A = this chain, B = another copy of it.
């Protein structure tokens, strides 16, 4: 299925993987800007700490279970037999990246890709828990993602696991297809965010009474919008690297796929802009940034699989649903998600995965995609809720009320992010 990478493709993919962290940097900046100023240092330090924790834990444990190094020793993983088929469910790669230096080029790049992927996935809940989720708990949750949840999911999809085998086992298209991590990064991280938000509860003052919600705008719209702009570049690189590594796409199609990424994001921003303008009279800057990001997330699944025209359409749908979802989660379900990761990454990722099924030429692909989506919603989300609820007993998620009042920075770090600037004392939030 996958021929060895040429030197040129290897070199390009490596350069792309060094550019891809702009997606991580962009998301970290968005997470920071959408929270309160009194939590800004904790928000961004948390993103760095989560990056460190996931990298260490994935090196120690996760990479072994993910076993997503095509062609490397031990990558085959463990299987059981059910219904006359072999179900490959977990990887068995060497401990602490042993032997990686001697592995084929593609295996090395695949491992590097996954380090970035698990870090990004683990950052998504952090943004949703902003302003009340404790650093220690955020890091512990990231460790769980890096040790268990991401490795299993990645193995199922990228490591020759049962979701990848849906094609050859049941004739469902090419098996579940996730070019850049729409499932294993974005839907996974976004569903983790949902579990966190359920467990940590809303910020104080967010829902003063049943069905009423207080607007708590992010403290720096420039961080949010600039993060969205940087993220575009990360996504261009990320989607291209993913297509090469996981879809075994030829080099020659990368420019068109980059245009697809651009068009999906552009369509989404334009749609959210128009939606918020017509609904509220004025476009909403934060929601537009979120719409743009939802487009990028959707493109993670689709940019390597569809035409430019379809990409624009996928983006427009992403941009239409973003403000509706954010509002619905907030008003109907009383979910307080400062970064919008649930709408942007969970729903955006699932929409992209569905779109791949809707627009794929091969028969059965839609069913394969639906099986993957059902697995994320039916297995990964409950698993997250269970693990995080257990964790919450050992490492309480929620900061104490006094800490929330004075801000996470002062409470958890002993100092604010902006010690010289005068900040409004807005009583309505206290």
Q: Decide: B229 and A263 in contact? CB cutoff 8 A.
A: no
Q: Decide: B55 and A258 in contact? CB cutoff 8 A.
A: no
A270–B49 alpha-carbon span in the complex (Å): 7
Q: Decide: B11 and A414 in contact? CB cutoff 8 A.
A: no
Residues of B within 8 A of A185 (CB): none
Residues of B within 8 A of A217 (CB): 415, 419
Q: Which secondary structure dominates chain A's binding surface? A: helix
Q: Counting CB contacts under 8 A, is A384 at the interface?
A: no
Q: Which of A1-52 contact B (CB under 8 A)?
A: 6-12, 14-19, 21-22, 24-25, 28-29, 32, 36-38, 40-42, 44-45, 47-49, 51-52
A101–B251 alpha-carbon span in the complex (Å): 11
Residues of B within 8 A of A228 (CB): 48
A258–B241 alpha-carbon span in the complex (Å): 16
Known: A96-B308, A228-B48. A233 touches B288 (CB 8 A): no
A52–B237 alpha-carbon span in the complex (Å): 19
Residues of B within 8 A of A237 (CB): 18
Residues of B within 8 A of A8 (CB): 7-8, 10-11
Residues of B within 8 A of A9 (CB): 7, 11
Q: Decide: A47 and B229 in contact? CB cutoff 8 A.
A: yes
Q: Counting CB contacts under 8 A, is A240 at the interface?
A: yes
Q: Decide: B420 and A219 in contact? CB cutoff 8 A.
A: yes
Q: Decide: B424 and A17 in contact? CB cutoff 8 A.
A: no
Q: Decide: A255 and B111 in contact? CB cutoff 8 A.
A: yes
Cβ distance A47 to chain B, nearest Cβ, rounded Å: 7
Q: Give the most central of A14, A221, A309: most B CB within 10 Å.
A: A221
Q: Decide: B36 and A229 in contact? CB cutoff 8 A.
A: no
Q: Which of A300-331 contact B (CB under 8 A)?
A: 307-309, 312
Q: Decide: B97 and A308 in contact? CB cutoff 8 A.
A: yes
Q: Counting CB contacts under 8 A, is A166 at the interface?
A: no
Contacting residue for A41 out of B45, B55, B222, CB 8 A: B222
Q: Counting CB contacts under 8 A, is A254 at the interface?
A: yes
A25–B220 alpha-carbon span in the complex (Å): 17
Residues of B within 8 A of A17 (CB): 255, 258
Residues of B within 8 A of A236 (CB): 18, 21
A100–B135 alpha-carbon span in the complex (Å): 48
A80–B399 alpha-carbon span in the complex (Å): 67
A266–B21 alpha-carbon span in the complex (Å): 14
Q: Counting CB contacts under 8 A, is A426 at the interface?
A: yes
Q: Counting CB contacts under 8 A, is A56 at the interface?
A: yes
Residues of B within 8 A of A126 (CB): none
Q: Counting CB contacts under 8 A, is A358 at the interface?
A: no
Chain A positions 375 through 413: 1 when the CB is less than 8 Å from some CB of chain B, otherwise 0: 000000000000000000000000000000000010011
Q: Counting CB contacts under 8 A, is A421 at the interface?
A: yes
Q: Counting CB contacts under 8 A, is A423 at the interface?
A: yes
Cβ distance A400 to chain B, nearest Cβ, rounded Å: 14
Contacting residue for A267 out of B21, B29, B56, B256, CB 8 A: B56
Q: Decide: B56 and A263 in contact? CB cutoff 8 A.
A: yes
Q: Decide: A280 and B414 in contact? CB cutoff 8 A.
A: yes
Residues of B within 8 A of A51 (CB): 229, 266, 269
A160–B363 alpha-carbon span in the complex (Å): 43
Residues of B within 8 A of A270 (CB): 49, 52-53, 56
Closest 4 CB pairs of A and B: A108-B255, A11-B12, A52-B266, A41-B221
Chain A residues within 8 Å of B, Cβ to Cβ: 6-12, 14-19, 21-22, 24-25, 28-29, 32, 36-38, 40-42, 44-45, 47-49, 51-53, 55-56, 59, 96-97, 100-101, 105, 108-109, 111-112, 115, 135, 217, 219-223, 225-226, 228-230, 232-233, 236-237, 240, 251-256, 258-259, 262-263, 265-267, 269-270, 273, 280-285, 288-289, 292, 307-309, 312, 409, 412-424, 426
Other A-B pairs, 13, CB within 8 Å; known A37-B421, A52-B267, A100-B255: A6-B7, A7-B9, A8-B11, A14-B251, A15-B15, A16-B18, A21-B229, A25-B230, A47-B225, A48-B289, A59-B312, A135-B283, A222-B417
Q: Could you give 8 example pairs across A and B, Cβ below 8 Å?
A: A8-B8, A19-B19, A41-B225, A51-B266, A55-B266, A59-B263, A221-B418, A280-B414
